[in-house]
Amino acid sequence: MLHEIDPEKHGPLGPEMAAAVSTCVHCGFCLAACPTYKVLGQETDSPRGRIVLMKEVLEGSLPLEAATPHLDPCLGCLACEPACPSGVAYRDLISPFRAASETRRNRPMGERFRRLLTRMTLPYPGRFRLAAQTGRFAKPLVRWLPKGMRVMLDLLPDRLPTRQTWDSVYPAAGTKRGRVALLTGCAQSVLDPDINTATIEVLTRNGVEVVVPQKQGCCGALSWHVGDLGRAREFAGRNLLAFPTDVDAIVTNAAGCGSGMHEYRQILKGTSQEEEASAFSSKVCDVSVYLTQLGDLEAVPDTGRKLRIAYHDACHLANAQNVRQQPRSLLQAIPGVNLCEIADAHLCCGSAGTYNIDQPEVADTLGREKAENIVSTQADLVATGNIGCMTQIKTHLARSHAGIPVRHTMQVLRDAYAGKVI
């Protein structure tokens, strides 16, 4: 077993990586939960197998180059964590390992360019909007581009929604019951800014004042999950300064962002901001959690219409934050809603940040299977809580010509308050 890691070599996260490795008893319960093991069918592409590989690399008995072909396809979906009877904190291993090993990687030129392109655009709404608009003109050339670039273009909508901006403060309607700060996100604010508008409307309608920090930036999750520790720390540090401390909660409406902000203590471990990051993360919660805890919400009017909604569990809500029932409860409070469970709901849709760009074959398989399982529910609508999932599922439902709209839980609830859902 790996009991000690040299801090000079692996940094302040070394002890946590060692603890995660040492907790694993190799029982194999994680195999059935792992999407990549289901698709690829190899022990080395399972959580148990990857833990062994990372252990051997950290101990120096296996070269990094031998492990990366099996570690790179890991989605980081954390489905292995709730399946693990030993409580292995896989999140304390996979992202820190990637961060510790990234500087030792010798990536091909095309891969380096693709990673640079995503790193310099996705976290910045202005740049991303410009890149997305430019990408529309490249779509006719898609067949001659490398697969990773083709996937990037395929995921772009034919037309971006109208740009939206948000005021610094939105007062509560009626009696003030709470005060929160909202993360508006980077890619989300370009691909579907209405999610933020809907979130603000639902919160203020229920007596919550909403602060939108104007100097906020990307949460850093995209950088953290691909091993770019320096940039993840930069984004996290900026948000520590941007968000007020005199709020009841820091509310997120994107599963990946919420999960990333919960990991600020880990991202900033060993820095002067570690203690501040821990306090910050303790206030972070998904909007569905905040609303459920607030309770006594305004009743949704009964239109007399029946509606079948398939709820998709975003991995970084269900697995990383243990948020499953709260969104379902909000949706079930809408009169006439029949909530449908999706087969193999625990399996990732294949989005996972930039995963569908970095691992297009596996992502395509998972996206296609997720769409097939959604279609089989015969739902009128899909609801979920993450922009990446929404983009992936929309793409694959469109390919199957299913015609099922995909909406964020807050959009569904906002529209239900107005007497409409679709």
DSSP symbols for 375-403: HTTT-SEEEES-HHHHHHHHHHHHHTT--
Q: Which residue has the tokens 């409307």?
A: 201
Q: Is there a single domain that holds both residue 206 and residue 266? A: yes
Question: What six digits make up the tokens of 170?
Answer: 């939105």
Side-chain half-sphere CA neighbours of 27 within 13 A: 13
Q: Is the residue at 337 inside a domain? A: yes
Q: Is there a single domain that holds both residue 264 and residue 361? A: no
pLDDT tens by residue, 281-327:
999 999 999 999 999 999 999 998 999 999 999 999 999 999 999 99
Q: Is the residue at 74 inside a domain? A: yes
Cβ–Cβ under 8 Å, residues 395 and 382: no
pLDDT for 15: 74
Q: Is there a single domain that holds both residue 311 and residue 374? A: yes
Q: Is there a single domain that holds both residue 287 and residue 385? A: no
Q: Is the residue at 281 inside a domain? A: yes
Q: Is there a single domain that holds both residue 397 and residue 378? A: yes
Q: Is the residue at 360 inside a domain? A: yes
pLDDT for 7: 44
In whole angstroms, give the CA distance from residue 373 to residue 351: 16
Total number of domains constituting the chain: 4
Q: Is there a single domain that holds both residue 259 and residue 306? A: no
Residue environment code for 352-385, b if the CB has 16+ CB neighbours within 10 A, otherwise e: bbbbbbbbbebbbbbbbbbbebbbebebbbbbbb
pLDDT for 3: 43
Which residue positions in the chain have pLDDT lower than 50? 1-5, 7-8
Q: Is the residue at 221 inside a domain? A: yes
Q: Is there a single domain that holds both residue 253 and residue 320? A: no
pTM (global) more than 0.85: yes
- Helix count (H) and strand count (E) of the chain? 24, 9
Q: Is the residue at 164 inside a domain? A: no
pLDDT for 146: 64
Q: Is there a single domain that holds both residue 43 and residue 60? A: yes
Last residue of a domain, one of 293, 326, 356: 293
Q: Is there a single domain that holds both residue 81 and residue 63? A: yes
Question: What six digits make up the tokens of 114?
Answer: 């693709």
Q: Is the residue at 17 inside a domain? A: yes
Q: Is the residue at 163 inside a domain? A: no
Q: Is there a single domain that holds both residue 234 and residue 147? A: no
* CATH number of domain containing 240: 3.40.50
* CATH number of domain containing 31: 1.10.1060.10
pLDDT tens by residue, 351-388:
888 888 888 899 999 999 999 999 999 999 999 999 99
- Give residue 220's identity as a one-letter amino acid code: G
Q: Is there a single domain that holds both residue 282 and residue 174? A: yes
Last residue of a domain, one of 94, 129, 155: 155
Last residue of a domain, one of 293, 310, 345: 293
Q: Is there a single domain that holds both residue 325 and residue 387? A: yes
* Domain of 143, in residue numbers: 109-155
pLDDT for 247: 97
